[in-house]
Structure 1
Amino acid sequence: MEHIPRLSEAVYVGMFRIAGTPTQVSIRREMLNNVDRFGVARRPYFGMKTVMSGSRTEGFDLKESDWDFMSWPFNHKLISNFNQVVDYDIDGYTLILMENCEDRPGFVLLQLLTLTNDDHVHQSCVIRDNKYYIKSSKFRENMLTRISLHPILHGPCASGTIGDFEFDSAYCFRSDYWPPIADQFIDRCRARGWPARNVLEDIIGDGCHAVPIGLKGSPQEDSEWRMSFSAAELKLVHSMNHTQFICYALLKVFLKEALAIEDVNGQPLLCSYFMKTTLFWVIQSNSNFEWSPPNLLSGFWMCFKGLLASVQRGYLPNFFIPENNMFRSKIHGHSQELVCSRMYELYNIGIACLLHCPSVRDFFMQAILHREFVVSTAETDIVSTVEFETVKQIDMLREILRCCCSSMRICFMVNRSFLGFSSSIDLSTSGLVFEVLSSDLVRYIANHLWKFPANNRLKLKLCRSCEALLKLRVRFGCLSETVYLALFYCISGENQKALPILETLRRDITQPYVIHNDRMYVQTFISGILGGRSFMGIMKKATLTIHIYDEEMIIKELEPEQREAKKNHLQVPPYIMTLMLLIVCNHGNSQKQQEVLHELYDLLHSNIGRYVRNQLRDISWQILGICQQICGDHKGALLSYQESLRQEPFHEMQEATKTRMQDARSRI
């Protein structure tokens, strides 16, 4: 197998398309790390701490990757023995004792030791031997009422959808302590040297969780809770080098495309968790093996043989509690025979069994057929997709935020918690996420604000809160963030507050160093941050397109266009929007209005693409016409509307344009 290193490198690079380059994986993890930090910030308002889990947090962005969350009441604490009681103020915490199920390692019963103020927990309790126990099956059902998105039960999770995204949410309890039953894991890691000492210490300090699911077929299945080490598993995956991560991805692809074996009920017999556990064991048990691109296929084959051996024995030890056989209720009898038969078939083919995976076949076959085929595994020699990955990940987070904020109650809760999040953000690493998501959030909040009566006290209070967030955006965001603050003042009738900041923006936005192209901004941001430049320095030299969505804050002068626009979404160049707001806010000052109008007229007739992208010329000419009508030039407005119709119909607002043309003709 002298060609294995060359084939390995070909598969390693080919898998970048599926699993991502090292930089892409780093970007994904950083993006979702901000979601977790936001979950920490919102704790005081929801009574729960929420973190992301699952394959997305590991760094994957596969089609089948769901959005997985774990939530637990922050004032409920699991303990392993009574000695730990002294570490908590029993007046402020509800304490729950984990009782190990002796013949079912890894599963526990939860005894409620102190009173709980959580109705869902209280309603899940049963009395046994004069003690209160939290029944897992009742807890799962009761927790569904916390979610307003019509979820269904799926194992220990509530499954549902947010917009186009599927999610699994597991409500559980957390222990601050590492459980004694898993102490063997600590000794084994120290003896074998994986993971590194600092990673191991982080894992131990994070404790564990208990999720509401019992061992299938157990006499106490409805009462048992499974110990979860998902936080530890995430740290282990993050500690892997990229070859190990690619091997993990290859195992997931192999499972889906070559080992998709189902039981009589159509349920898969193997799962990606088995693959991950096998990889953990292989990495730890082969400390002298060099995990590098030329050895990728050798590492994969070790994992394949390790999994096959486990299937033959009918025993796959849990990585943290080896006495817990993860095959116990799944791989036995006929099911075990089915899996063994398929894996033997693939084993006899050898490493060429990867040809059974359509996702891998093309680049693997090319390397097999052409012996001279050699690839470079250096990321710098591969076409960079960092910009695409950054935009893609942010767009997904924006969509989730938009769906969540459709509820007024949730939106206002998010508003309060986001202030806590923004006050502690590390702009050097999280700036782009903060820049985009907080801008969206502010506009969603403003959308709900206008639904309150004019003199409503809550509205006034929330207006000030919204103003504070917008000012924060101006302080930390890019140059064009000022437009949203001015728009807020304009709609609130506070034109005098809007005018000075608009004049400042009018001056700054035309400076030669300012970047006006959205895509170029992202490229500059990434290259600048990677080059060690200041985040604030980059932000203050860039503008982004102004986005106005359905029912969000908008001046009445643009309402017809917003209603007619595709998906009720207007995109306006920031320079154009700045000049329009100056004309609107200078109502009664005709001399100033004419001065700004001439600037707007010259801007569009000069055909300078720097300020106005071709796709946005339809709305830009439309705005010129609107401003001309505001200033009484109806003939000029008619010509501008006609020019708007000649542009690419990006916004699909032709009917609004024709209506304005009729109005202009009637006034000539």
Structure 2
Amino acid sequence: MAVQRISESVYVGICLKIGTQQQVTYRRDIQDIAEMLKNNEILNKQNTVMLSGSRREGFRLSGSDMDHMHCLNNHRVIWDFSQCQFYNTQEHALILCDSSESPPGFTLLWLPLERTSHGVMSACVRMNGMLYISSSKYREVTCSLVFPGSSPHGPCGSGSFGSVEYDTAHCFISDFWPPSASSWIGRCHSWPPPHVVNDIIRNGCHFVAIGHKLGNHTDNEWRISFSQAEYKLVCLMNHTQFLIYGLLKLFLKEIINEGLRDEDKLLCSYHMKTAVFWAIQQNALPHWYPQNLMVGFWVCFKLLLKWVYEGVCPNFFIPENNMFLSNIYGEAQQTLFTRLYRLYENGLALLLHSPSISSYITNVLCNPRLTICTDEHTLISEVEVDEDIFGEIYENDAISKMDLHTCEIYLHRVEQLLGLPLTQYHIVMLQKLTATILQCTAFMLHSMYTNTGSNKQLFIVDKVACRFVKLSAKFGFVSDMLYIAMYYYKSFRYRDALSVIDITKVKLAQPYLMYESYVDRERYTEAVGGQSLSTKMRQTVAQDIQLYNDIFYINEIIPEQQSSKQNNEPSLYIPPLVLLYMLEFLCSRHVDTMRAQRALDDLQALVHHDQGQLVPVELRDISWEILGICQQITGNLHAALYSYQQSLRQYPLHKIQTATRQRIQDLHL
């Protein structure tokens, strides 16, 4: 009974730490729709990009990486020549697997026709007179392809944006299931069910650029990746199984690897996932539910302990691939086993060393009659859920290429997606992406025809662009109204812009407004509690304004966009009130100078005195910059100098320092 009550208490704690079933579901759904829009075969003939790893699975643990797989669409890996018949070799470069001299789970990639792209060709080596794609050379070629300045990390290019670390792996696709993994199909009697097995097999596998450390061709071998299959299996888990997987990840991070140097961390999250997969498939626990959570954890931990003792961790898809072979053996294996066995001897008390979990165990031990409710709807309030949902939407609200043809294709794709069975999370994500596409289209149209079109053309284009930007505000956040004000300012409609600014100012001042994590929960619930996500987004949610550096929105911040773009940053992010006061100042200069001064005073008070609530700390560089620009326009050069200097002292999120220094130079003080 004590174990059951501890299980229930830890279940609650893990839900709060990792997410309820609802939270995990909408994180996946929002990512799904973003990927379905962006990975359009018309747009991305060359490349498909997929989020993978723990974030794709639905985790949002601090310190977790953003893992992306980049796959060449015009290359396909086959297992034997009979599979050539399924391809037009004019469209696809075919690569043949040669696993004859590689350990299980690894292979050489042979180019039998020696025809491929320049990038792939530059990574090729000759062996026995034949051309093979070298994994080590391919890593060198692709490491900094997506993010310049990335450094090698396993098969990936690695780096960070602010506090977020990323890994990008460049892969090849096979539409066929590996023969070496055929035994997995025969093992799937009870889990996963046949329809999932068939779906996984139909989708084949990937190859990532890393060889086996003990293989004959370490620098040239490729690892077979089952990343997409694993994602489907994780999605198939019930929530208790998913939380056990999450608990094992925390156990690894906070207990097993705590205090160890990176080179001494022999176990990784992938081993934990593998243990859960095997435990589920082998029916190690007849029932996986909250009251059994600790038993499930213990089953997986014992399996892990057995593997370390034997020095064998069988890959879930290719058991012959012993994932401990290259690093967990000899003295290192003995040391790790001793460390784990000491934890095992402590029983479930070992989790008392976990900062994330310990309090939920001691609560039960100290309060034997404590009532525990595992109903997720009582664990996290509607407001907290909404904060998380809109944060996820904002994080995934981006389009890749900036031209009218691309935007047209995106809109056509939106139309196609609307015909699918969609969840409420799919719909609200699709709404926001549609708003973004319309905004980009409007500003690109205006820029294209302002200097080149006839008056009649300009009139028609302006009418269309105006309609798009107004329509976008009906789909997006409250703060998206500022795109209308920017468009009016750009097209010299100052009074119209000020009318929109007045309306937006009222909406942004509402006591129920949700901006990032700042919201009056009681007022928010009174205003929109129980209403649809779409309604909430349009009426009560504000987010930072994203200005793509490939599109010029207003002339006054073009130098900042250019500086940011030169430093490989795709966008500027501006707090909504900072942009509102800037636009109010710029427009009022032409129609009401007293109002312009009031707007500048409001902007100055906001930037000088805000404590991170309306001007997030990470956006202070651009906020001080905008204040300086407005002060310089009025002729207050000393105040502008101070603001620019303050901008240079902030965290350089946007990398606008080149523009800032140039502005300081132009002051001639």
TM-score by length of 2: 0.75
3-state SS of 1:373 partner: coil
Q: Which residue of 1 aligns with 2:335?
A: 338
Structure 2, unpaired ranges of 5+ = 562-571, 616-623, 638-669
- Shift of residue 139, structure 1, vs aligned partner: 1.3
Q: Which residue of 2 aligns with 1:169?
A: 168
For 1:201, which of 193, 198, 203 is the aligned residue? 198
Instruction: Kindly indicate whether residue 239 of structure 2 is the aligned counterpart of residue 242 of structure 1.
Output: yes
Aligned 8 A contact 1:41 1:420 in 2: no
In structure 2, the CA distance between the partners of 1:51 and 1:414, relative to structure 1 (3 Å rule), is farther
Instruction: Kindly indicate whether residue 214 of structure 2 is the aligned counterpart of residue 188 of structure 1.
Output: no
Q: Which residue of 2 aligns with 1:430?
A: 426
What amino acid maps onto 1:241 in structure 2? N
Q: What is the distance in 1 between the residues matched to 2:522 and 2:57?
A: 25
- Shift of residue 267, structure 1, vs aligned partner: 3.5
Q: What is the distance in 1 between the residues matched to 2:413 and 2:182?
A: 35
Q: Which residue of 2 aligns with 1:233?
A: 230
For 1:268, which of 252, 257, 265 is the aligned residue? 265
1:106-185 equivalences under 5 Å are 106-144=105-143, 146-185=145-184
- Shift of residue 381, structure 1, vs aligned partner: 1.9
What amino acid maps onto 1:84 in structure 2? Q
In structure 2, the CA distance between the partners of 1:132 and 1:382, relative to structure 1 (3 Å rule), is same
1:548-567 equivalences under 5 Å are none
For 2:286, which of 283, 286, 289 is the aligned residue? 289
Q: What is the distance in 2 between the residues matched to 1:553 and 1:323?
A: 56
Q: What is the alpha-carbon root mean square deviation over aligned residues?
A: 4.7
- Shift of residue 126, structure 1, vs aligned partner: 2.2
- Shift of residue 376, structure 1, vs aligned partner: 0.4
- Shift of residue 26, structure 1, vs aligned partner: 1.5
- Shift of residue 423, structure 1, vs aligned partner: 3.9
In structure 2, the CA distance between the partners of 1:540 and 1:19, relative to structure 1 (3 Å rule), is closer
Aligned 8 A contact 1:247 1:296 in 2: yes
Q: What is the distance in 1 between the residues matched to 2:110 and 2:322?
A: 25
Q: What is the distance in 2 between the residues matched to 1:119 and 1:59?
A: 37
- Shift of residue 540, structure 1, vs aligned partner: 6.6
Instruction: Kindly indicate whether residue 455 of structure 2 is the aligned counterpart of residue 455 of structure 1.
Output: no
Q: What is the distance in 2 between the residues matched to 1:556 and 1:125?
A: 47
For 2:377, which of 372, 376, 380 is the aligned residue? 380
- Shift of residue 334, structure 1, vs aligned partner: 0.6
Q: What is the distance in 1 between the residues matched to 2:161 and 2:405?
A: 18
- Shift of residue 260, structure 1, vs aligned partner: 1.4
Instruction: Kindly indicate whether residue 33 of structure 2 is the aligned counterpart of residue 34 of structure 1.
Output: yes
Aligned 8 A contact 1:125 1:132 in 2: yes
Q: What is the distance in 1 between the residues matched to 2:278 and 2:25?
A: 24
Aligned 8 A contact 1:641 1:661 in 2: no
Aligned 8 A contact 1:158 1:169 in 2: yes
Q: What is the distance in 2 between the residues matched to 1:515 and 1:188?
A: 57
- Shift of residue 154, structure 1, vs aligned partner: 1.0
Instruction: Kindly indicate whether residue 299 of structure 2 is the aligned counterpart of residue 302 of structure 1.
Output: yes
In structure 2, the CA distance between the partners of 1:227 and 1:523, relative to structure 1 (3 Å rule), is farther
What amino acid maps onto 2:201 in structure 1? I
In structure 2, the CA distance between the partners of 1:288 and 1:217, relative to structure 1 (3 Å rule), is closer
In structure 2, the CA distance between the partners of 1:217 and 1:412, relative to structure 1 (3 Å rule), is farther
In structure 2, the CA distance between the partners of 1:637 and 1:140, relative to structure 1 (3 Å rule), is closer
Q: What is the distance in 2 between the residues matched to 1:68 and 1:44?
A: 22
Q: What is the distance in 2 between the residues matched to 1:477 and 1:116?
A: 46
Q: What is the distance in 1 between the residues matched to 2:180 and 2:505?
A: 62
For 2:364, which of 363, 367, 377 is the aligned residue? 367
- Shift of residue 196, structure 1, vs aligned partner: 2.2
Q: What is the distance in 1 between the residues matched to 2:174 and 2:13?
A: 41
Aligned 8 A contact 2:252 2:269 in 1: yes
In structure 2, the CA distance between the partners of 1:455 and 1:181, relative to structure 1 (3 Å rule), is same
- Shift of residue 128, structure 1, vs aligned partner: 2.8
Q: What is the distance in 1 between the residues matched to 2:529 and 2:157?
A: 39
TM-score by length of 1: 0.75
Aligned 8 A contact 2:102 2:221 in 1: no
3-state SS of 2:357 partner: helix
Q: What is the distance in 1 between the residues matched to 2:201 and 2:486?
A: 50
- Shift of residue 70, structure 1, vs aligned partner: 0.7
Aligned 8 A contact 1:548 1:571 in 2: no
- Shift of residue 231, structure 1, vs aligned partner: 0.5
Aligned 8 A contact 1:277 1:319 in 2: yes
What amino acid maps onto 1:88 in structure 2? Y
Aligned 8 A contact 1:120 1:142 in 2: yes
In structure 2, the CA distance between the partners of 1:231 and 1:435, relative to structure 1 (3 Å rule), is same
- Shift of residue 352, structure 1, vs aligned partner: 1.2
Q: What is the distance in 1 between the residues matched to 2:175 and 2:524?
A: 39
> Which structure has the greater CA radius of gyration?
1
Q: What is the distance in 2 between the residues matched to 1:264 and 1:641?
A: 52
Q: What is the distance in 2 between the residues matched to 1:443 and 1:346?
A: 56
Instruction: Kindly indicate whether residue 224 of structure 2 is the aligned counterpart of residue 222 of structure 1.
Output: no
Q: What is the distance in 2 between the residues matched to 1:48 and 1:105?
A: 28
Instruction: Kindly indicate whether residue 510 of structure 2 is the aligned counterpart of residue 517 of structure 1.
Output: no
Q: What is the distance in 2 between the residues matched to 1:215 and 1:35?
A: 34
Q: What is the distance in 1 between the residues matched to 2:236 and 2:472?
A: 35
- Shift of residue 90, structure 1, vs aligned partner: 1.4
Q: Which residue of 1 aligns with 2:249?
A: 252
- Shift of residue 146, structure 1, vs aligned partner: 2.3
Q: What is the distance in 1 between the residues matched to 2:602 and 2:141?
A: 60
- Shift of residue 63, structure 1, vs aligned partner: 1.3
- Shift of residue 484, structure 1, vs aligned partner: 2.3
- Shift of residue 121, structure 1, vs aligned partner: 1.1
Q: What is the distance in 1 between the residues matched to 2:91 and 2:632?
A: 65
Structure 1, unpaired ranges of 5+ = 578-618, 664-668
1:544-623 equivalences under 5 Å are 544=542, 547=545, 569=574, 571-572=576-577, 619=581, 623=584
In structure 2, the CA distance between the partners of 1:114 and 1:296, relative to structure 1 (3 Å rule), is same
In structure 2, the CA distance between the partners of 1:470 and 1:270, relative to structure 1 (3 Å rule), is same
Aligned 8 A contact 2:102 2:215 in 1: no
Q: What is the distance in 2 between the residues matched to 1:202 and 1:231?
A: 11
3-state SS of 1:168 partner: strand
What amino acid maps onto 2:121 in structure 1? H
Q: What is the distance in 2 between the residues matched to 1:446 and 1:164?
A: 33
Aligned 8 A contact 1:263 1:269 in 2: no
Q: What is the distance in 1 between the residues matched to 2:49 and 2:466?
A: 28
Aligned 8 A contact 1:545 1:572 in 2: no
In structure 2, the CA distance between the partners of 1:557 and 1:48, relative to structure 1 (3 Å rule), is closer
In structure 2, the CA distance between the partners of 1:661 and 1:624, relative to structure 1 (3 Å rule), is same
- Shift of residue 266, structure 1, vs aligned partner: 2.8
Aligned 8 A contact 1:77 1:173 in 2: yes
What amino acid maps onto 1:392 in structure 2? G
- Shift of residue 137, structure 1, vs aligned partner: 1.2
Q: What is the distance in 2 between the residues matched to 1:515 and 1:180?
A: 61
What is the aligned residue count? 594
- Shift of residue 330, structure 1, vs aligned partner: 1.3
Q: Which residue of 2 aligns with 1:596?
A: none
Deviations 1:145-170 (Å, cap 9, x if unpaired)? 52342111111111122344211111
- Shift of residue 467, structure 1, vs aligned partner: 6.8
Q: What is the distance in 1 between the residues matched to 2:45 and 2:526?
A: 38
What amino acid maps onto 1:370 in structure 2? N
- Shift of residue 392, structure 1, vs aligned partner: 3.2
Q: What is the distance in 1 between the residues matched to 2:352 and 2:464?
A: 58
What amino acid maps onto 2:15 in structure 1? F
Q: Which residue of 1 aligns with 2:661?
A: none
Q: What is the distance in 1 between the residues matched to 2:538 and 2:320?
A: 57
In structure 2, the CA distance between the partners of 1:261 and 1:217, relative to structure 1 (3 Å rule), is farther
- Shift of residue 623, structure 1, vs aligned partner: 4.3
Q: What is the distance in 1 between the residues matched to 2:55 and 2:636?
A: 53
1:46-61 equivalences under 5 Å are 47-61=46-60
- Shift of residue 218, structure 1, vs aligned partner: 1.8
Instruction: Kindly indicate whether residue 93 of structure 2 is the aligned counterpart of residue 94 of structure 1.
Output: yes
What amino acid maps onto 2:69 in structure 1? M
